[in-house]
Structure 1
């Protein structure tokens, strides 16, 4: 059946992970240190023997005996994976200890250290029991008449979907949960769900706890007793979410016992601090703390979460990074890095984080020495595609900020760049070379000391450009377009925004009639001194918004395909034609345009729809 194959593919991934771990050099060393080479070999052979007959078992599962055998295989495979995962966790801990010892000059073999750990007390007995179960199942395949190699490909398939380990509970349903449940979700829109949560705490093999939908705080919260039971009883969890339960103001230390946990979503909960034990989750890959508005500080040992890939504490009250974050070399998503004033929280901590794909750096005014910015090694971050750079204020250190931004030159693979509160009087040289050749989105916000805009017209991939609050810019001229007779300026640009340019008076664009061939949206808003000009023609334009440009003396660009036109408080703006494609027209306090339209019988909306 198709449903059997889908669930089987999930189990195939489990089995493949097990094979990969058993083949790794670290696992081989781990077993050899305990003189368990033979056990490791038997485990490998037994898993392969079982896997070889799975396709045939799927075809014969009409037999109750075969169904039961497949259920047992599924259960044993999960058990084996749990045990191998615990070994992997121990290995990570030993490696981290070894790195620390190396840094202090006290080097010891990590596996000899491991042999003395408390983990070994029950490891051999658990491994022996696991192997016995698998060997018993392998011996049953002949009795069941299962044939090796039947069917295409190497696949591990489980039986009927009604016996699946995944379960989605909906309001009004009974609280009877499948015995072998491992993945659980529910729609949290009713107080009725609290009874269900008590029942799920007894599902000791659960791997996924994932509430769906936002909570209604007037009707449903997560009881503290349930939180305690979940964390103390469900030790095999890989995925855990308490997202948007704002009544949660404290998490118990027992969360540190979830050694298998990969994904932890605490976004929107009401905690002020996290328990230090959260730093014991060495397998954790995602930690989501977004919108935890009461959160004031991160645990000091965050650097021990060496497998962390995604760390999000944006929109919180955290104002200081934990020390030694540079140890988290697997980080890919970091939307908040707060530059500190001391070495262990300085921008240099980013130097070895070369797996980063998304990064937002705030408090850049704390970079006193521009050479520290160079040590962040942005040119080495070949995976970085989205970068936001922010200073808290525009102060009198514009010269220093120019040199800091110069040293933050990113790799050419960058796709999105946003810069806010930059205090320099100009932008660095790398804005004009090929560094930004792959950038598709660029935002420059509140750069109040810059007298001129950088040359951006020759960026070949740029599709969206926002220029906001450049308080000292008075004119935008040929330099902005790139000063090249051989290249069409802004050849790929689709959206252009100018907003809150309080001193901008002139846009010199009459000599670049071929610019903006792909522009679909143009926004010019809150530019009270702008007098002239506008582009003569924008052949791809779909939407034009001009708002609070009272002194603008110009004609609306020729845009034969325009669909939406919004003009507000543009007293001297003129209109010379009515495109047949225009479907949404909003005019407010633009007397010359209004007169032109009324003379031609065009109805005008008084406000935007």
Structure 2
């Protein structure tokens, strides 16, 4: 809130200073308003802290927020009217020529609204005094009740044994290090996750007690006072209270007490981000003997980075079962009550999000409550529960109150995202921009300010990085929010606004209609859009989003969208929209238009040139976009323009790219290059000046039937900047395979070309031009005349492809030339190529780690020498080779092979020589007689997946897989049961999956003895499913398994 008010004050002052002559009578009210806002801003820090415990202040805060949003609307209206006059009067770019104040109707309307707002603000300003709000400087939000000590307060700590053992091991081996006397190990995690408890467990371990002397514990908190910490350490050693001494004698005293001793110090709950303060304290502590250690706990990643010398330990959440055990200890005083309330309790535990504080607090809160009250908690959000009794949010709220004021609104806004959702970094930054929560600061553009905010919230453990999504795909620029942190954000938003949006529901009847400013409203259909339109005059962000993967129901954006004149963000991504109304170009404040993945969209409105405030035009994967209007080049505020479509003599011209040198987008796609008339028009794009460009996609229409092609000269003229890393070319029909500037591409080259039209096609190779020797990845696709990798003119040239790491051939049926030596190649893919590939030359690729061969017609066997020299090969994937009868016999020479995948090879009869294998995946190889050499040889196998079998019983060979941890059986059409030996022999099994085995009816009794089994997934086994559900005939066999998933 404070940051939002500050932005309003700055906007008002700027408007008054720059356009005083245009405000005509309104300037005085604006000046008064700016002064009032500044006065109120001074007490917001006090109000922010007190609003959570004082209902009157909370209501005052909500009223202030509503009026502040009204001011924002007025300023928006003024800016929009100014822009409208400025850009709809050709040749005039000065507001003095067409003053807004000259419009008497508009001036009267603005003046009236300003007076009304001023009256409200006067009342709010008066109320602040009555509420006792002061302009005190920010103080500490910590109190003595939070102070920690070294004793473990819990009778039994669950779920931290492994982490404790790891830390103990690390600390005790530090005595062997020669490079430093003291090592620092940080423990990082969100509030309530158990950082202090884990540190206490380590501190009190008997091995630690024997290894370290002395052991010292200091609770640090937000106030990182080096003198106080030193005094606490001295008092702990001497067991007396130190008198008031200056810092220097205290430092000397502590060093005397610690010198030549191997000590352990725990600094609990550290918030300090000032490296200098830490270095001053650290210099005093570097007097101990080798092997001395410091353990620090913190919520902030930045603190850990400043202090650590050892790898940071990021504390993980507990499992639902571990949380249930903690909850049960606190909630139940008798067995009868547990049996009666267990089902409800397990649902409540899911609210804990793996945070032990929440599990214990909720359990204690419910201990003496009735069943009706348990049900009430089950149906409530944590942020609605009594704070004084649960203590969950107050503990987490310290992280919020410790945030810089400019980050608080950004954090609270994240409550609009559904719990558990993966949030894209770019999306949340755009929404912060749209809602005025961030702004440029003179040295940084607003997008950079947003990126810094995301980084800071991540460093403070409020955001969690997401490395992969549910499908295992990398998510480099995404994050998620822990469920309890999400509850914290919602509680803040509730306090400020009086309500928030539920996960998939539009809140259109909120008591405060200004909430449309704070929350994006999600709609799923055209009719629904029209119905809510009259209620959303202040809307900043409009997001069309389906409950599932796509917004299929939304096909049309009505012209009435222009009534939402405050819109700054429109997201129609993944919708089925075909055309945008031209009225969208009346949204003068629009900053972001996201049309990513609108694959039915074929044209943009003609008036796009009027969107002069547009910063981001997102068009990724708009595959059917065939027309763009002229004038895009006038949008000089653009930072993102992901795709352009050449319009030939009409529509968008490549020359319009020349003036767009502020683009920050690293990727640019240019479509329909066949419409470019000649080399001159292509040169006018000036791609060499696009310094941020890293990835360039150039597309010609491969289905064209023109008599003359100018592809070669156009491609030559589209020379990019030297920093280009990725080039993708498709539909190209030029006179030679590569342009002269191909050496510009330093990382990845993807080439899809109809080379029938290349002169000398029979001699086409992948090195007809001087490629960059630093090229890392090359993908050659749909090249029916490509012979191989090297042409005669460069044969033997040193350095060609010397750094290439990834090579892919797709649909190159005439590929026959031997592969050259590529000393850095890690991965080779050969897909949809002819059977006459020089397979034996693969043995030249001595650094190869992954080999994929798929969909090769007419190939019955590979030459034995193909696998020679591949001592580093770790993964081999053979798929869809219908005539393949056997793999090379010398598989045994692949001593590093860990993963083998064989798919859809119906004539394959056997696999041999796989002693080192760790993962084996077999799919639809119905003729395969047995597993490799009998499974007795597969002593290292930990993952086995078999998909597709006509067998009526599981092979006896499987019983010898004593090391297997993951077993996945799918599409066993005739399998009726698992063998009795299953549980007796597969003693290491942790995860079992049974999918689409329609005849499978029973599980072996021995599965009850599988204590290592952590998860069982049963899907599409219609006979087995009802028997395995609670109360079914098989339930007693599997009820001990922690993670059960049984689906139709």
**TM-score over 0.5 for the pair:** yes
What residue is the counterpart of 1:22 in the other structure? Answer: 12
What residue is the counterpart of 1:218 in the other structure? Answer: none
What residue is the counterpart of 1:400 in the other structure? Answer: 710
Structure 1 residues 167 and 269: CA distance shift in structure 2, 3 A: closer
Q: Distance in 1 between matches of 2:600 and 2:510?
A: 29
Q: Secondary structure in 2 aligned to 1:75?
A: helix
What residue is the counterpart of 1:452 in the other structure? Answer: 765
What residue is the counterpart of 2:67 in the other structure? Answer: 76
Structure 1 residues 599 and 69: CA distance shift in structure 2, 3 A: closer
Structure 1 residues 200 and 496: CA distance shift in structure 2, 3 A: farther
Consecutive unaligned residues in structure 2, runs of 5 or more: 140-402, 420-492, 759-763, 926-946, 948-1048
Structure 1 residues 14 and 37: CA distance shift in structure 2, 3 A: same
What residue is the counterpart of 1:186 in the other structure? Answer: 503
Write the mapping of 1:333-482 to structure 2, written as runs, cut at 5 A.
Answer: 333-356=640-663, 357=665, 358-393=667-702, 400-424=710-734, 425-432=736-743, 435-437=744-746, 440-448=747-755, 449-450=757-758, 451-454=764-767, 458-460=772-774, 462-477=775-790
Question: Is the CA contact (8 Å cut-off) linking 1:387 and 1:416 kept in structure 2?
Answer: yes
Q: Secondary structure in 2 aligned to 1:326?
A: helix
Q: Distance in 2 between matches of 1:272 and 1:137?
A: 48
Q: Distance in 2 between matches of 1:80 and 1:29?
A: 18
Structure 1 residues 275 and 201: CA distance shift in structure 2, 3 A: farther
What residue is the counterpart of 2:852 in the other structure? Answer: 544
What residue is the counterpart of 2:540 in the other structure? Answer: 238
Q: Distance in 2 between matches of 1:204 and 1:142?
A: 25
Q: Distance in 2 between matches of 1:600 and 1:131?
A: 81
The question of 1:262 aligning with 2:579 is answered no
What residue is the counterpart of 1:325 in the other structure? Answer: 632
Which of the residues 882, 890, 899 maps onto 1:576? Answer: 890
Q: Secondary structure in 2 aligned to 1:506?
A: coil
What root-mean-square deviation, in Å, do the aligned CA atoms of Structure 1 and Structure 2 show? Answer: 4.1
Task: Give, in angstroms, the shift of residue 157 of structure 1.
Answer: 10
The question of 1:121 aligning with 2:108 is answered yes
Which of the residues 814, 821, 824 maps onto 1:503? Answer: 814
Task: Give, in angstroms, the shift of residue 53 of structure 1.
Answer: 1.7
Higher relative contact order (CA 8 A, sep 6+): 1
Q: Distance in 2 between matches of 1:143 and 1:197?
A: 33
What CA deviation, in whole Å up to 9, does each residue of 1:374-413 have, x standing for no partner?
A: 1111111122233211000276778621111111111233
Task: Give, in angstroms, the shift of residue 68 of structure 1.
Answer: 3.0
* Deviates most, 440-449 or 287-296: 287-296
Task: Give, in angstroms, the shift of residue 321 of structure 1.
Answer: 1.2
Question: Is the CA contact (8 Å cut-off) linking 1:444 and 1:467 kept in structure 2?
Answer: yes
Q: Secondary structure in 1 aligned to 2:537?
A: coil
The question of 1:597 aligning with 2:912 is answered yes
Structure 1 residues 481 and 595: CA distance shift in structure 2, 3 A: farther
Question: Is the CA contact (8 Å cut-off) linking 1:232 and 1:255 kept in structure 2?
Answer: no
Task: Give, in angstroms, the shift of residue 241 of structure 1.
Answer: 1.9
Q: Secondary structure in 2 aligned to 1:475?
A: coil
What CA deviation, in whole Å up to 9, does each residue of 1:186-217 have, x standing for no partner?
A: 33xxxxx6xx67746994641233449xxxxx
Which of the residues 277, 292, 297 maps onto 2:583? Answer: 277
Q: Distance in 2 between matches of 1:601 and 1:324?
A: 62
What residue is the counterpart of 1:48 in the other structure? Answer: 38
Q: Distance in 1 between matches of 2:56 and 2:923?
A: 75
Q: Distance in 2 between matches of 1:507 and 1:283?
A: 59
Q: Distance in 2 between matches of 1:33 and 1:374?
A: 44
Structure 1 residues 360 and 183: CA distance shift in structure 2, 3 A: farther
Consecutive unaligned residues in structure 1, runs of 5 or more: 1-10, 171-176, 188-192, 213-220
Q: Secondary structure in 2 aligned to 1:379?
A: helix
Q: Distance in 2 between matches of 1:155 and 1:320?
A: 45
What CA deviation, in whole Å up to 9, does each residue of 1:280-307 have, x standing for no partner?
A: 1122233234555554543221221222
What residue is the counterpart of 2:131 in the other structure? Answer: 144
* Deviates most, 43-52 or 580-589: 580-589
Write the mapping of 1:311-322 to structure 2, written as runs, cut at 5 A.
Answer: 311-312=618-619, 314-315=621-622, 317-322=624-629
Larger radius of gyration: 2
Q: Secondary structure in 2 aligned to 1:206?
A: helix
Task: Give, in angstroms, the shift of residue 167 of structure 1.
Answer: 6.3
The question of 1:32 aligning with 2:21 is answered yes
Structure 1 residues 570 and 28: CA distance shift in structure 2, 3 A: farther
What residue is the counterpart of 2:253 in the other structure? Answer: none
Task: Give, in angstroms, the shift of residue 126 of structure 1.
Answer: 1.5
Task: Give, in angstroms, the shift of residue 127 of structure 1.
Answer: 1.9
* Deviates most, 245-254 or 149-158: 149-158
What residue is the counterpart of 2:902 in the other structure? Answer: 586
Structure 1 residues 526 and 494: CA distance shift in structure 2, 3 A: same
Structure 1 residues 412 and 154: CA distance shift in structure 2, 3 A: same
Question: Is the CA contact (8 Å cut-off) linking 1:564 and 1:582 kept in structure 2?
Answer: yes
What residue is the counterpart of 2:231 in the other structure? Answer: none
Question: Is the CA contact (8 Å cut-off) linking 1:458 and 1:481 kept in structure 2?
Answer: no
What residue is the counterpart of 1:67 in the other structure? Answer: 58
**TM-score where L is the length of structure 2:** 0.47
What CA deviation, in whole Å up to 9, does each residue of 1:323-369 have, x standing for no partner?
A: 32222233344444221122542222222222331321111001111
Structure 1 residues 222 and 596: CA distance shift in structure 2, 3 A: closer
Q: Distance in 2 between matches of 1:317 and 1:240?
A: 23
Q: Distance in 2 between matches of 1:156 and 1:267?
A: 29
Which of the residues 117, 121, 130 maps onto 1:130? Answer: 117
Q: Distance in 2 between matches of 1:290 and 1:605?
A: 37
What CA deviation, in whole Å up to 9, does each residue of 1:475-508 have, x standing for no partner?
A: 32278999664x58442x4432111112221034
Structure 1 residues 273 and 27: CA distance shift in structure 2, 3 A: farther
Which of the residues 541, 550, 555 maps onto 2:866? Answer: 555
Structure 1 residues 502 and 169: CA distance shift in structure 2, 3 A: closer
What CA deviation, in whole Å up to 9, does each residue of 1:65-100 have, x standing for no partner?
A: 4333322322222222222222222333233235x3
Question: Is the CA contact (8 Å cut-off) linking 1:572 and 1:590 kept in structure 2?
Answer: no
What residue is the counterpart of 1:227 in the other structure? Answer: 529
Task: Give, in angstroms, the shift of residue 111 of structure 1.
Answer: 5.9
Q: Distance in 2 between matches of 1:114 and 1:269?
A: 38
Q: Distance in 2 between matches of 1:154 and 1:598?
A: 61
Q: Distance in 2 between matches of 1:372 and 1:397?
A: 20
Bigger proportion of residues as helix: 2
What CA deviation, in whole Å up to 9, does each residue of 1:555-608 have, x standing for no partner?
A: 1353334333233357898563422433324277799x9788389999994647
What CA deviation, in whole Å up to 9, does each residue of 1:401-445 have, x standing for no partner?
A: 11111111112333432111111123222112xx323xx333111
Question: Is the CA contact (8 Å cut-off) linking 2:639 and 2:662 kept in structure 1?
Answer: yes
Q: Secondary structure in 1 aligned to 2:405?
A: coil
Question: Is the CA contact (8 Å cut-off) linking 1:282 and 1:304 kept in structure 2?
Answer: yes
**TM-score where L is the length of structure 1:** 0.78
